[in-house]
Structure 1
Amino acid sequence: MNKTPMISIVDDDESVRNAIGNLVRSIGYEPTLFSCAEDFLASAQLDDTCCLITDVHMQGMSGLDLQFELINTGQHMPIIFVTAYPEESIRKRAKAAGATCYLSKPFDGQTMIDCIEEILHSPNGHTCN
């Protein structure tokens, strides 16, 4: 039996977090929402996450810090970064470490959907549990 792919969303802005969650739900996937990276890392959903969408700049651990923590602990999952403060040096670091997409807020919903679909339907993509 196929399980609905779980997409975890980490953003300290509640309205953005909820909007992305609604978008994810509208295309048939299961969103799980976290207000900080630390909560995501401590969650039971960590191992079931097929794709992570995270803000770059957050209180506490940043999105880049989260990416490197996942890599360092052997958690390999596709990551979509979103940011209200696009910086080329940060985009390059995120992409060099394996980020799939790097979107500037406000972003078009279809652009986010395209990133998610690319991740979940790529023949070389992440295998969900």
Structure 2
Amino acid sequence: MSSTTPLYVAIVDDDESLCRSLARLLRASGMQPITYACAEAFLADAKRPRFDCLVLDVQLDGMSGVELALQLVSEGRHAPFIFITAHDDPETRAGAQTVGCAAYFRKNDAGADIVDTIRRLAGQP
């Protein structure tokens, strides 16, 4: 992938403020974020692009981020996914790692770390 091709990143989170700020950060970093307020909205988007990375909130209303990741994996979709949560505890972290997340962040972790992780997962410097 050329460094001039923007990375498409899905952000699935019911925290509107976090979606807005993370999307702004990703756009400023040259990425193309698309936000979804819930897993069901993500799945219903028939025009969604092929994403280079997914940022999934662990705890969503309706289908959780973990359940969404499991469904995508079972469908053979292989875009790496990152979990983000405001409710970090050992059980949540273990559940996220069980489904094969590429990274795990708390919502108050540095945005630059998330950007760097997305770039690394997509093979960009």
Q: TM-score, normalised by structure 1?
A: 0.86
2:51 aligned to 49, 60, 67, which one?
A: 49
SS in structure 1 of the partner of residue 63 of structure 2: coil
Mapped pair 1:9 → 2:11: yes
Matched, 1:77 2:92: no
Stretches of 4+ aligned residues off by more than 4 angstroms: none
> Could you tell me how far apart the structure 1 residues matched to 2:119 and 2:18 are?
20
3-state SS of 1:48 partner: coil
1:126 maps to which residue? none
**Matched letter for residue 89 of structure 2:** E
- Aligned-pair identity (%): 36
Task: Report the Cα distance in structure 1 between the residues aligned to 2:106 and 2:85, rounded to whole angstroms.
Answer: 5
Pick from 58, 63, 67 the counterpart of residue 69 of structure 2: 67
Alignment correspondent of 2:41: 39
RMSD: 1.6
Give the corresponding residue for 1:115. 117
Residue pair 2:66, 2:99 contacting (<8 A) in 1 also: no
Judge conservation of contact 2:8–2:32 (CA < 8 Å) in 1.
yes
Q: Deviations over 1:37-76 (max 9, x none)?
A: 011112121x511100011111001000101010111111
How far, CA to CA, are the matches of 1:96 and 1:65 in structure 2? 12
What amino acid sits opposite 1:25 in the alignment? R
Q: Secondary structure of 1:121's partner?
A: coil
Give the SS at the match of 1:12.
coil
Q: Which amino acid aligns with 1:14?
A: E
Gaps of 5+ in 2: none
Provide structure 1 residue ranges, at least 5 long, that are not aligned to the other structure. Answer: 123-129
Q: Normalising to structure 2: TM-score of the pair?
A: 0.89
Match of 1:27 among 26, 29, 33: 29
